[in-house]
Amino acid sequence: MASLKEVRGRIVSISSTQQITKAMKMVAAAKLRRAQDNILRMRPYAQRLSGILANLSSITEGTVTNQYSQKREIRSVLIIAVSSDRGLAGAFNSNIIKGVVSLVNTKYSAQQAADNVTVLAIGRKAFEALKKRGYNVNGDFTGVFSNLSFDTVRGAAEFAMDGFIRGQYDQVDLVYNEFKNVATQIVQTEQFLPIEEKPVEENASAMLVDYTFEPSKEEIIQELIPKSLKIQVYKAVLESNASEHGARMTAMDKATENAGELLKELKLTYNRTRQAAITKEILEIVGGAEALASK
């Protein structure tokens, strides 16, 4: 049985840890509110922009060439993996790592064998973990979360878009955590480039608008497509940012509860040990008194 001093030391240590986890939970909750507001404002804008682009594409189908839709034989692949810069967020980062590894093993095993798979890490955790696993990782954009904005994320999107246009990459995929609620984050894998053609729904034809193009439809679409692609990456990063704070809040809440349960057990052990020591002392005193009385 542990001594009273050891048990008391563990109680003090776990109490300090519990205070830290409580503080981290409160910080994560405050950051989550802002991050959640950001993604909820971004979603309608991104969906509306995609809708306009799809509407224009259906009208101009076959008349406007789009360099971002060119399908080629997949020889070289770029995977944009969105993680976080810090840990202590439960399975948030490990799920992204597993998602990237699973994607490479199931879909791009031939390209990986030829060393033609590159991972663009947005977030330090993905960079460090995938680098240790021997992947070819680009870490130029690992620090975007220190100053998260559209301008800082745009560089990563432009890197992927320029690489696709130059033929450096034949396909670009996005792997990120989609924010559902505080307790639920879903790993999403999306094809970023080439742009997938989405079939027009049957009832969507009635909603098509007769546009008057100013300037030309070619200029408008060539301007909208790059903007839509950058918004897609920015939305993925905002989803991941909200998911990170939700995952950390949940993890720290669970850690605080576990610390409380452990404290109860340690205090019970401490009281039992203390009572056993007192009982032992009483028995020694009574035994000594009886020995003296017998003389």
* Domain CATH for 100: 3.40.1380.10
User: pLDDT 10s digit of each residue in the chain, 295 long?
Assistant: 567 888 888 889 999 999 999 999 999 999 999 998 989 889 888 888 877 776 666 555 555 567 888 888 999 999 999 999 988 888 999 999 999 999 999 999 999 999 999 999 999 999 999 999 999 999 888 888 888 899 999 999 999 999 999 999 999 999 999 998 888 899 999 999 888 766 555 444 445 556 666 677 677 777 888 888 999 999 999 999 999 999 999 999 999 999 999 999 988 888 888 888 788 788 778 777 777 777 6
**Cα–Cα distance for residue pair 122/240, rounded to 1 Å:** 10
In a domain, 257, yes or no: no
Q: Is residue 211 part of a domain?
A: no
**Does 281 reside within a domain?**
no
Phi, psi of 234 (to 5 degrees): -60, -40
Structural domain contains residue 266: no
> H helices within the chain, ranges in order?
4-59, 92-107, 109-113, 124-132, 150-165, 217-294
Q: Look at residue 293 and tell me if it is in a domain.
A: no
The range of the structural domain enclosing residue 109 comes to 23-198+217-251
Residue 230: strand, helix, or coil? helix
End-to-end CA distance of the chain: give it in Å, rounded: 36
* Tally of domains within the chain: 1
99: closest CA among 118, 123, 126?
Answer: 126
Residue 174 lies in a domain: yes
Residue 3 within any structural domain of the chain: no
Examine residue 155 and state whether it is found in any structural domain, yes or no.
yes
Alpha carbon dihedral 144, 145, 147, 152, in 10-degree steps, equals: 30
